[in-house]
Structure 1
């Protein structure tokens, strides 16, 4: 069997590792990746040490069948060197996690070669796939025959919502911050577009470089990520895939109210008040962001299980439950996208502490209700409905900046710009279709999608656990695929 893997980021690493763990029969694996930073993808390439992995090791294993795989690789000495005292967990620079991915990929390739597989990496971008024979075409015009094709092209890149591309002082994509922040003068007033984890990375890294100018987090909602709670030993009994499956069997459908009932049961079994928990959760949009940040940072050691159970449920149970929800309930959840993302992808306490220090010093502010940003002479003008850091909200307020850093996270299941020709080719050949809610859905059993591009997934961006799970399922599908499939169509 000839397997073509398009892309060499975390999804490809998870797939190679799953193949090495579970597939015995020999074949051929070809990985196509033009980047010099193999196996790391956009998020985990070389960068500043201030750009941290935003989760503890227990949920960062790229091996779906072994939750301790990453922690074992990290080892005691490296873990101790990067311990976050507040979280009680090691938080390493993302470039170091990239080294873990690279080591895992190379080890998987070595295992496959020992089992008789031929492996190679082609340093070229794939721009098309032909249906007849399933030939993979690279941008240099060469065709590479394959029996199975797996897309591991990663997530999208920030969108230029305000048409600022080409304006002096506009940074369209912040990563790698080691390169982009070198373009920011030390005393410049900086507007960071967005208020999610990418924006937090930008602010923390500016601070790490000793930036002296004002910094504003500029977004429509002004909602910051929640702060990680110190991991608890609680084992979920109600917010589980098994309970969701039982609801589906009993009623033929699973509703949002059903899922809320599972959360309620989880909290009540732990002696906690569901109404209090939901009131605090839904109050995030009206609570001043700095007050919420301060309160959650002070409560890192809170023993209440609600936030952890919900966060784990979103990542572990969410992908399965999402497929069972009625469309009306999915739309209800989409309307709470920012809140859901805040809870599902919190910021680590060490970064929260940096933000709070900058807020308290007056260097950092939150600008919410943004409706227009325009390039003007010597900088940018931000128009917004209210300023959450002001004593009273004002309508149509203007904030100025010398530099704008676009840290708006791309929508989940969006097509990376570099993969657009490939996706267009797959659609034209009838090998895949676009999902109504975003992402790509294979229309041929020889085509697979691993990672955030996979259509039909939840409305939040895929994390490492879901990428690893999809990679394992793709490896199972490849193991079950008939040999020589390409010649049969």
Structure 2
């Protein structure tokens, strides 16, 4: 059986690793990737050491259901990257990229030992067409490659230019890698960072760590900062589990948000904690002063209560499975709270939260919420937003604007556009109403951020690993039924 994997980031690594654990017999695996940073994707290529992995090691294993895989690879090196508040190693993303590369190379070696040929084609796939029981893929150099199954592992989209600033001098449309973009920022200049999520935190912390002395302002429509990770506790969920959700689905024929809330309520009640208190705190995310909320959350890193810890853990371990079972009305309800949900499920690490707090307290960093307009004029950037009282307006000027808005979930990456268009035109796939791509052919698979109907948290490594394992099983199970043709 011949398999084509389009893209060579984390999703492709998870798929290769899963195939190595399940595949057998001859065939070819062809991986297409134009980037020189094989296996790392956009987030985990070479970059500044201040750009950290934002999750504890247990949530960063690319091997499905093996939560210790990444930690075992990291080994003693983790001690040099310990976040003392969290009590766990938080390494530079480039080092995590080495883990992904090592995993991919180990899996490739195992597949070769099992009789498979694994090859990498440096370049994009621009077209794919079905021919009988086979696929024909065309690379950008005009060459064609055959496959029985095609797996799209093309990663996420590109950051949106909300204010039409692209091309203006001093505008940084995509900050990564920061090692390339931040040296372009004048060290004493006035910098505006569009966004207030994890990418914005990376930009601000890295600017300060590398000697930027000018004022920095976070521009945000919502003003919501990510939550802060808490030091892990010893409690393992007993009710908020995949097994319990599966049982509910079997008993009731459906699983609702109210069911999940009740599981969490029961979990917390056994610990002597109040679900309603946790819910009230979550709902205050968009209304509480963000600086005061950050200060309070930083002080609560060692809070003995488990509520938020359980919610964060199960958002990644249970969430991808439960999301598929929810009725569409409940999915719509959750999407309304997407900003809050992502800030809770993907918090910032304490070392970055502390750095942000110091910058805010010193006045080096400010937060401007309610931004309504930004434009380039007369060699500078003019930004208009609302004051906190929502009555007065302010206009500020900046020398540099860094776009730290995250790509929209389930967006089609620009580089994958021609291939996706070909698949849509051929009827091999369709666009999901909520975004992403849904295969219409059982020999086409999507792993990662582009997976239509996939998990609510699209950039989750556990969800990506789970999907990769599922696709690997599907491909291998079809092997005996897939006819081989020339």
Q: Give the TM-score range, shorter chain.
A: over 0.9
1:86 aligns with 2:85: yes
1:127 aligns with 2:126: yes
- Aligned residue-pair number: 484
Match runs of 1:4-403 below 5 Å? 4-76=4-76, 78-132=77-131, 133-387=134-388, 392-403=389-400
Task: Tell me by how many angstroms 1:484 deviates.
Answer: 7.8
CA distance in structure 2 between the partners assigned to 1:466 and 1:459 by the alignment? 9
Instruction: Report the Cα distance in structure 1 between the residues aligned to 2:455 and 2:106, rounded to whole angstroms.
Output: 31
What is the alpha-carbon distance in structure 1 between the residues aligned to residue 458 and residue 318 of structure 2? 15
> SS at 1:481's partner residue?
helix
Pair 1:317–1:102, CA change in 2 (3 A): same
1:225/1:345 contact within 8 Å kept: yes
- SS of the aligned residue for 1:134 comes to strand
**Displacement of 1:488:** 7.6
Instruction: Classify 1:359/1:486 alpha carbon distance in 2 versus 1 (closer, same or farther; 3 Å).
Output: farther
Which of 453, 456, 466 does residue 453 from structure 2 map onto? Answer: 456
RMSD, aligned α-carbons: 1.4
* CA distance in 2: counterparts of 1:6 and 1:85, whole angstroms: 39
CA deviation map 1:273-326 (0-9, x unaligned)? 112111111112111111111111111111211111111221111122212222
Task: Tell me if structure 2 keeps the 8 A contact 1:146–1:486.
Answer: no
Decide whether aligned partners of structure 1 residues 488 and 396 sit closer, same or farther in structure 2, where only a CA change above 3 A counts: farther
- State the shift of 1:265 in Å: 0.8
- Between the aligned partners of 2:170 and 2:460, the Cα distance in structure 1 is 31
Compute the displacement of 1:232 (Å).
1.1
Give the Cα separation in 1 of the matches to 2:49 and 2:163.
30
Match of 2:411 among 409, 414, 434: 414
Q: Secondary structure of 1:12's partner?
A: helix
Secondary structure at the counterpart of residue 467 of structure 1: helix
Instruction: Say which SS state the counterpart of residue 5 (structure 2) adopts.
Output: strand
Is the contact made by 2:455 and 2:463 (CA closer than 8 Å) also made in structure 1?
no
Partner SS, residue 127 of structure 1:
strand
Q: Which runs of 5+ in 2 are unaligned?
A: none
- Contact kept, 8 Å, 1:384 with 1:395, in 2: the verdict is no
- C-alpha contact (below 8 Å) 1:134/1:486 kept by paired residues: no
SS of 1:230 mapped into structure 2: coil
- Structure 1 residue 394 displacement after superposition: 4.0
What per-residue deviation string (whole Å, max 9, x for no partner) do you get for residues 53-112 of structure 1? 011111111111421111111112x11111111100001000000001111111111111
SS at match of 1:482: helix
1:482 to partner: Cα distance: 3.2
Show the 5 A alignment for 1:420-439: 420-439=417-436
Q: Does 410-419 or 250-259 show the bigger shift? A: 250-259
**Among 437, 453, 467, which residue is 1:470 paired with?**
467
- Distance across 1 between alignment mates of 2:111 and 2:401: 46
Greater Cα offset, 192-201 or 127-136 = 127-136
With 24-33 and 149-158 compared, the bigger mean Cα shift is at: 24-33
Partners of 1:146 and 1:314 in 2: CA distance: 36
Q: 1:329 to 1:135 in 2, by over 3 A?
A: same
Contact 1:82–1:92, Cα closer than 8 Å, also in 2: yes
> 1:483–1:164: structure 2 CA closer, same or farther, 3 Å change rule?
farther
Comparing 286-295 with 347-356, greater Cα deviation is found at 286-295
Query: Contact 2:60–2:70 at 8 Å: present in 1 too?
Result: yes
Cα offset for 1:393? Answer: 4.5
Q: Which moved more, 1:313-322 or 1:411-420?
A: 313-322
**Measured at CA, do residues 255 and 488 of structure 1 come closer, stay the same or move farther in structure 2, by a change above 3 Å?**
farther
Moved more, 456-465 or 138-147: 456-465
Q: TM-score, normalised by structure 2?
A: 0.97
Structure 2 Cα separation of the partners of residues 442 and 298 of structure 1: 46
SS of the aligned residue for 2:332 comes to helix
Residue 487 of structure 1, CA deviation: 5.7
TM-score (norm. length: structure 1): 0.97
Q: Which residue of structure 2 lines up, in the alignment, with residue 3 of structure 1?
A: 3
